[in-house]
Copies of this chain bind each other. A is one copy, B any other.
Amino acid sequence: MGDAAMSPKLTGEILRQLRQAMRNCKYFSEPIQAYIIPSGDAHQSEYIAPCDCRREYISGFNGSAGTAIVTEQHAAMWTDGRYFLQANHCLCNETPSQEDWLISVLPENSKVGVDPWIIAADQWKNMSKALISAGHCLVAVQHNLIDVVWPDRPERPSTQLRTLGLEYTGTSWQDKVTMLRAKMTERKIGWFVATALDEIAWLFNLRGADIEYNPVFFAYAIVGMNTIRLFVDLKRLSHPVLRDHLQLDAPIKPELSIQTFPYESVYTELQAICAALGPKDKVWICDKASCALTQVIPKAHRTPIPYTPLCLAKAVKNATEIQGMKMAHIKDAVALCELFAWLEKEIPKSTVTEISAADKAEELRSQQKDFVGLSFPTISSVGPNGAIIHYRPLPETNRTLTLNEVYLIDSGAQYVDGTTDVTRTVHFGTPTAFEKECFTYVLKGHIAVSAAVFPNGTKGHLLDSFARAALWESGLDYLHGTGHGVGCFLNVHEGPCGISYKTFADEPLEAGMIVSDEPGYYEDGSFGIRLENVVLVIPTKPKYNYRNRGSLTFEPLTLVPIQVKMMNTELLTKKERDWVNDYHRKCREVVGAELERQGRKEALEWLIRETQPIV
Contacts and interface: CB of A to CB of B under 8 A. Distances in A.
A463 interface: yes
Interface stretch (A42-50, A307-315, A467-475, A487-495): A467-475
A261 interface: no
A472 B501 contact: no
A477 interface: yes
A475 to B, nearest CB: 4
B466 A464 contact: no
A542 B473 contact: yes
Interface in A449-475: 452-455, 462-466, 469, 472-475
A547 B474 CA distance: 13
Nearest to A573: B573
A541 B477 CA distance: 14
A551 B549 CA distance: 36
A543 interface: yes
A97 interface: no
A473 B453 contact: yes
Contacts of A465: 454, 462-463, 465-466
Nearest to A574: B573
A476 interface: yes
A539 to B, nearest CB: 11
Given A452-B472, A454-B472, A472-B452, A549 B501 contact: no
Given A462-B465, A469-B466, A474 B544 contact: yes
A463 B465 CA distance: 7
Question: How many copies of this chain are found per oligomer?
Answer: 2
A186 to B, nearest CB: 15
B542 A477 contact: no
Interface in A497-512: 501, 504
Contact of A472 (B469, B541, B547, B551): B551
Contacts of A546: 475-477
A208 to B, nearest CB: 37
A452 B469 contact: yes
A464 B461 CA distance: 11
A238 interface: no
A474 B542 contact: yes
Contacts of A475: 453, 455, 541-546, 551
A466 to B, nearest CB: 6
Nearest to A502: B504
A454 B541 CA distance: 31
A336 to B, nearest CB: 30
Q: How large is the interface on A (under 10, 10 to 19, 20 to 34, 35 or more residues)?
A: 20 to 34
A480 to B, nearest CB: 13
A114 B164 CA distance: 57
Contacts of A466: 465, 469
Contacts of A452: 469, 472
A114 to B, nearest CB: 26
Nearest to A549: B477
Interface string A174-206: 000000000000000000000000000000000
Interface in A540-599: 541-547, 549, 551, 573
A455 B472 contact: yes
Contacts of A501: 462
A255 B518 CA distance: 56
Contacts of A504: 504
Contacts of A543: 474-475
Chain B CB within 10 Å, residue with most, of A469, A475, A543: A475
Contacts of A455: 472, 475, 477
Interface in A14-71: none
A477 B550 CA distance: 11
Nearest to A479: B547
Interface string A514-558: 000000000000000000000000000111111101010000000
A462 B502 CA distance: 10
Contacts of A453: 472-473, 475
A255 B379 CA distance: 61
A543 B471 CA distance: 10
A463 B501 CA distance: 11
A501 B551 CA distance: 17
Interface string A96-133: 00000000000000000000000000000000000000
Given A452-B469, A469-B452, A504-B504, A544 B476 contact: yes
A453 B542 CA distance: 28
A517 B464 CA distance: 20
A548 to B, nearest CB: 10
A314 to B, nearest CB: 25
A353 B338 CA distance: 72
A530 to B, nearest CB: 15
Contacts of A476: 544, 546
Nearest to A551: B475
Chain B CB within 10 Å, residue with most, of A476, A541, A573: A476
Interface string A295-321: 000000000000000000000000000
A544 B504 CA distance: 29
17 contacts: A452-B469, A453-B473, A454-B472, A455-B472, A462-B464, A462-B465, A463-B465, A465-B465, A466-B469, A474-B543, A474-B544, A475-B551, A476-B544, A476-B546, A477-B546, A477-B549, A504-B504
Given A472-B542, A474-B544, A475-B543, 17 more contacts: A452-B472, A453-B472, A453-B473, A453-B475, A454-B465, A455-B475, A455-B477, A462-B465, A463-B465, A465-B465, A472-B551, A474-B543, A475-B544, A475-B551, A477-B546, A504-B504, A573-B573
Which 5 pairs from chain A and chain B are nearest by CB?
A504-B504, A475-B542, A475-B544, A474-B543, A453-B473
